[in-house]
Structure 1
C-alpha cells in the first residue's frame, strides 16, 4: 500500500525493517544463489582451478543482479520498501560458457540475458534503485557467476564447462563484508520471485 507521498506504507503487514539498522554504510548488492545441487557442482569446478587463479569460497557463489555499492540503512530500507510493492518476476538463465574477463581479472561461468522475466526484473531493480537515490549501474547486466579472481590467463587444462540452469525463487540483498580471512557475502534480506 502506498502513502500520499507515493512511497510504500512502512507500517504495512509485509514490511519488516529489522534488517535495516546499521550505522554508517555497508557495501551491498542484490543477487540470487544457485541451488544446493548446483553449488556442489560449482564447488567441484572450483577445485579444478589452480594458482595463480584464486577460486572464490563456495559459500560466496552467487549471481549479481544489481550492485549497489556503499549504502546507508535508510537508503537501503527505502529501496527494499519499493521492491516489496513491485512484481518481481521469476526467471531462468542458462549459464554454459566459461569466460575470462581481463578488466576485472575474473574467471566466470556466463550466460545470455534473454529470458523475459530476467529482463523485466533488471528494469524493476534499476528503477527502484534510482528512486531510492542510488547511482545508475556502470554496466549492463551480464549474467554470470564469478569462479575465480586474479585471473590473468584462463586455466590450463580448461575445465569441462557445466550447463547450469538457474531458476531462483528468492531475490537476496547481500552485504559484502571484508574479514581477515577474505570477503564474505552475507544475506541480509530476501523477497520471493513470482511465478
Structure 2
C-alpha cells in the first residue's frame, strides 16, 4: 500500500448494547487459538472496497450517498454464533443474522457501484466477525453453534464508510463518513 492509498470498506456500526450482548455470548468460543475482535472494531460488513487512491474518496463517498438515498432502513435478527465461513475449515467466529431481502439489495447495489468489475453472484450473508482463528494453531477443537436464548435485533439505520489501518495485534478502524438510510414509516422492516 502506498502513502497516498487508503484501505476502505462499507459497513453499519453496531449499537453499544448489541456489541456487549454479542461479546457476552462469545465466551463459549474461548480458546488460545481464537483471538477476539475488540469491541470498537465490531461492525456489519456491507462491502469491502480494499486499497484505493485517496483521490478516489470523493467519488466513492458520492456513490454510497446516492445508494443510501434509495434504500430503506431494516432490522436483522440474530440466527446464531458459529465458526465460519465453513464449519470444516473455520477462520473466524461470526454472528450470523437471518437472511434479509433489504440487506441483500443494499449489499448488491453497493457491490455493483463500487466494484472495479461486475461482482460475482454470491449470496450475501449478514454477519459480524467476532473472533479470528490464529493461523499458527493446528489443533483447534470443534465448536458447536451458539443459538440465542432470546431474540436479538440489529437495527440498520445508516451506512458508513470506514478506513482500516493495519496494525498489531488488530487493525484500527475509523468511520470517515455516514449516511442515513430511508426511514420506513410503517411497522419494523424485518424483510
TM norm structure 1: 0.74
1:124 aligns with 2:104: no
1:186 aligns with 2:171: no
| Contact 2:163 2:176 survives alignment (8 Å) | yes
| Superposition misfits of 4+ residues, deviation over 3 angstroms | 46-49, 133-140, 151-156, 158-163
Match of 1:113 among 99, 112, 116: 99
> 170-179 or 180-189: which moved more?
180-189
| Alignment gaps of 5+ in structure 2 | 135-139, 184-191
**CA deviation digits over 1:133-187, x for unaligned, max 9?**
467368532111111101754447x656364311122101111112244212211
Counterparts of 1:1-195 in structure 2, within 5 Å, are 23-50=3-30, 51-86=32-67, 87-101=70-84, 102=86, 103=89, 105-114=91-100, 116-130=101-115, 133=116, 136=119, 139-150=122-133, 152-155=140-143, 161=148, 163-195=151-183
| Alignment gaps of 5+ in structure 1 | 1-21
Q: Within 1, Cα distance between the matches of 2:33 and 2:165?
A: 23
Over the residues paired in the alignment, what is the CA RMSD in angstroms? 2.6
**CA deviation digits over 1:52-98, x for unaligned, max 9?**
21111111111101011112222232121123233132122112212
Question: How many equivalent residue pairs?
Answer: 170
| Contact 2:19 2:42 survives alignment (8 Å) | yes
Q: Within 1, Cα distance between the matches of 2:161 and 2:4?
A: 17
Displacement, 1:25?
A: 1.4
| Contact 1:66 1:137 survives alignment (8 Å) | no
| Contact 1:68 1:134 survives alignment (8 Å) | no
Q: Within 2, Cα distance between the matches of 1:40 and 1:145?
A: 13
